Amino acid sequence: MTSFTCYNPVKLVFGKGMIAELKDLIPPDLTVMLTYGGGSIKKNGVYDQVRAALADRTVVEFGGIEPNPRYETCMRAAELAKSEGVGFLLAVGGGSVLDATKFIAIAALYDAGDPWEIMEGRAPIEAAMPLGAVLTLPATGSEMNTNAVISRESTGEKLSFGSPHVYPQFSILDPETTYSLPERQTQNGIVDTFAHVMEQYMCGIGRAPLTERMAEAVLITLVEEAPKVKANPDDYEVRANLMWCATVGLNGWLGCGVAAQDWATHMIGHELTALYGIDHGRTLAVIMPAVHRHQLERKLPRLVQCAERVWGITQGEDKDRAAQAIDRMEAFFQSVGVPTRLSAYNVDADEAAPLVAERLARRGVKIGEYGDLGEQAVREIVMLAR
Ligand code: NZQ
Ligand code: ZN
């Protein structure tokens, strides 16, 4: 086990009816800016619950944050926050609204230049406005982590940043808010969660037995719950289990004591979203099996462990069991309803492979748990996903 620091100050408020708790979670004297997306919260009653909980507060609204939130939109929100004297940001929605709000929290206090410098890693993050969240889509773990992913329309980039300054002060998770999710978004959330766990767990380096078993517990729970949510989308217990899986999947715990993490799938996936507009979760279903096949030799011990503990494959040669574990993962994504090949998204791998590889190479990005997958490897991985 490697040495680690575990720090996560997010107050998680989980369960039916918990949005009402908002009144005690935000300091009463602050002007609140409520940020939201394209309007789903107005149809499913979440907006009404939030406004009722904040009935006696000064609230400014900023709606229209798009999936894969844009820098340009965030900058408009930051200007509004400044001009209205906002003191607290409340994100109500999915990962995109939460991520955008994290960026707005920084941009609203940043006067050293263009906040995009932060996304490019050229400027440090020194402060952020306090924020909280009401999550309506379990997937990203953004409700309990330091990360955000922002796209820039003018340059076609999709970049991420992380800072403890943007930990939400609290996140409210009411599983009932997820009943209204379109099936596609539920599917995306299951795959995204599964992939987050795998990025931390499926690595060739080091051992952290307790953390590995925690990761396996999340994977097994997802495999058990996915068919249930398909059959009964309004089952509270199933929705609650999926929501808790997503949070645990990327709140830092599964990285404790882990020597190195992979994240190659996410890095390639973000480029596919930027280039072709494919949903984040879907890019992962396409790329993760390809990464694992490409890196089978180096990930062999962990793949064999996963085969046995997650998929119950106990017979056969190691390489054969490892290959079966990858096949089972791909079949799982398909069973959730997410296609796992580029061709299903009308993307030509021959065209995509060099484009994705060049875009990552241009930024000097080397990926995988060894940090050595460069342009050639990325090309090969994308071709495996054709
Ligand atoms: O915009 P509205 O109208 O709210 O509709 C949204 C959106 O169209 C809808 N939706 C959300 N909750 C709903 C709902 N519709 C009905 N009922 C509800 N309860 O779902 C659509 C997708 O929402 P979005 O927030 O984009 O999805 P998700 O949560 O999957 O977030 C994806 C973004 O998060 C980033 C991705 O790259 C992508 O930009 N990620 C963020 C991470 C992080 N912060 O740690 C890590 C992830 O790996 C990921 O990269
Ligand atoms: Zn993800």
Strand partners, 135: 93, 173
Report the amino acid identity of residue 261: Q
Closest ligand 1 atom, CA of 195? Answer: 48
Expressed in angstroms and rounded, the spacing between residue 113 Cα and the centre of ligand 1 is 29
Helix, strand, coil shares of the chain as percentages rounded to 5? 55, 10, 35
Write phi, then psi, for 196 (nearest 5 degrees).
-60, -45
Q: Is 38 in the pocket of ligand 1 (CB under 6 A)?
A: yes
How many angstroms does the Cα of residue 127 sit away from the middle of ligand 1? 25
Measured CA distances, 209 to 213, 255, 306 (Å): 6, 12, 13
Arithmetic mean of pLDDT over the chain: 97
Percent of residues, the chain, with pLDDT higher than 90? 98
Which ligand sits nearest to residue 158's alpha carbon?
1
- Give ranges for CATH 1.20.1090.10 in the chain: 182-384
Distance CA 77, CA 187 (A): 30
Chain centroid to CA 235: 23
CA distance 74 to 245: 28
Instruction: Read off the pLDDT of residues 119-155 as tens digits, 9 standing for 90 and up.
Output: 999 999 999 999 999 999 999 999 999 999 999 999 9
Q: Give the pLDDT confidence of 228-242 residue by residue, as tens digits.
A: 999 999 999 999 999
Q: Say whether 83 sits in a helix, a strand or coil.
A: helix
CA angle at 113 for the pair 108 and 116, rounded to the nearest 5°:
75
User: Which CA distances in Å does 111 have to 101, 103, 124, 335?
Assistant: 17, 14, 12, 48
Q: What angle do CA 77, 168, 281 make, to 5 degrees?
A: 80
**pLDDT of 383:** 98
94 CA → ligand 1 middle, Å: 4
Contact between residue 128 and residue 135 where contact means Cβ atoms under 8 Å apart: no
The rounded Å distance from CA 59 to ligand 2 centre is 31
With a 6 A CB cut-off, is 137 part of the ligand 1 pocket?
A: yes
Q: Is the CB of 278 under 6 A from ligand 1?
A: no
Calpha distance 212→216 (Å, rounded): 6
Radius of gyration of the chain (CA): 20
Q: Which of 44, 185, 243 to mutate to test the pocket of ligand 1 (most atoms within 8 A of CB)?
A: 185
Q: Is 163 in the pocket of ligand 1 (CB under 6 A)?
A: no
- Rounded to whole angstroms, how far apart are CA atoms 237 and 162? 32
Cβ neighbours for 375, distance < 8 A, ≥ 6 positions apart? 357, 358, 360, 361
> Do strands 88-93 and 32-36 pair parallel, antiparallel, or not at all (unpaired)?
parallel
Give the tens place of pLDDT for each residue, 341-370.
999 999 999 999 999 999 999 999 889 999
pLDDT for the residue 204: 86
Cα of 210 to ligand 1 centre, how many Å?
30
Question: Could you say which DSSP state residue 31 is in?
Answer: P
Contact 298, 373 (CB under 8 A): no
Domain 11-177, CATH among 3.90.76.10, 3.40.50.720, 3.40.50.1970, 3.40.50.2300 = 3.40.50.1970
Supply angle C-alpha 257, 262, 267, rounded to 5.
Answer: 140
**Residue 343: DSSP 8-state:** G
- Structure confidence at residue 127 (pLDDT): 97
Report the C-alpha gap between 199 and 279 in whole angstroms.
18
- Ligand 1 within 6 A of 175 CB? no
Residue nearest to atom 41 of ligand 1 (CA): 140
Q: What is the pLDDT of residues 86-112, one digit of tens each?
A: 999 999 999 999 999 999 999 999 999
Residue 197 has pLDDT above 90, yes or no: yes
| For ligand 1, atom 28: residue with the closest CA | 95
In the chain, CATH 3.40.50.1970 covers: 11-177
Q: What is the whole-number distance in angstroms between the Cα of residue 350 and the centre of ligand 2? A: 25
**CATH class of the domain whose range is 182-384:** mainly alpha
Cα of 315 from ligand 2 centre, angstroms? 32
318: helix, coil or strand?
helix
199-213 residue pLDDT tens: 999 998 999 999 999
Q: What is the pLDDT of residues 311-347, one digit of tens each?
A: 999 999 999 999 999 999 999 999 999 999 999 999 9
Cβ atoms < 10 Å from Cβ of 307: 24
In this prediction, residue 57 has a pLDDT band, given cuts at 50, 70 and 90, of very high
Question: What residue has token string 């949903």?
Answer: 279
Nearest CA to ligand 1 atom 34: 95
Q: What is the pLDDT of residues 248-289, one digit of tens each?
A: 999 999 999 999 999 999 999 999 999 999 999 999 999 999
Amino acid sitting at position 339: P
